[in-house]
Amino acid sequence: MREIIFDTETTGLDPKGGDRLVEIGCIEMVNRVETGNTFHAYFNPERSMPSAAEAVHGLSEAFLADKPLFATRAAEFLEFIGDAPLVAHNAGFDFGFVNAELDRIGLPPLDKGRMIDTVALARVRHPGAKLSLDALCSRYGIDRSHRTRHGALLDSELLAQVYVELTGGRQIGLELAAEVSEELVVTMTTTSRDRPRRAPRPHTASEAELAAHAAFLESVKSPLWRS
């Protein structure tokens, strides 16, 4: 099954209040395994960057000034995600910003039926625990030492590992397991068919072995079986 893990960075918290998308990062997974295919883009938000938001992700107005508008890469983004389920941490936030950008250029929104929220998954798996991405990375022993600031692609890479843990751990996919099992059965069957037959081994003790065993029992002092 193909799934897309994604994250966004923005100018703030409220797309309805004028905040804009400035970065998006996507990781492709098939059967819970990363394929190496990614989509990553920065966008000019056509507005100022609040200092509080810049402190989180480090993306300044100067850095974003020459980046493309969301509209110029929207088709490429939509083609990459296709119709796959979309996994994000606090997914309602990310869906809200992406859909606001799509609405701004006259495109239909992403269907929220495709949304998989890892915060909701973690809340069920670890009730009462901290649910931030950092906290979950610590819980599962995922190295985040290179994460000094938020970044959409980096956070997607970390979230992909967290998602695997939240959905069963580092186990081989069922489809691949079935293929391996079938191959193993064929190999064993073929090997056993081609192996030369040998005479069955005797499974009863000889007279000498029985006599030796009886002598050993007689040598045991105060055996439990005689009490």
Q: Which domains does the chain have, with CATH numbers?
A: 2-169 (3.30.420.10)
Closest by CA to 164, choosing from 31, 40, 24, is: 31
Give the model confidence (pLDDT) of 26-52 as tens digits: 999 999 999 999 999 999 999 999 999
Q: Which residue out of 57, 150, 203, 213 is catalytically annotated? A: 150
SS3 87: strand
Residues 6+ apart with CB under 8 A from 134: 144, 147
| Residue 146 a catalytic site member | no
Strand-pair category, 2-10 with 86-88: parallel
Give the model confidence (pLDDT) of 122-154 as tens digits: 999 999 999 999 999 999 999 888 776 778 999
Residues 6+ apart with CB under 8 A from 11: 19, 20, 22, 45, 47, 48, 49, 50, 53
Show the beta-strand stretches assigned E in 52-146: 86-88, 115-117
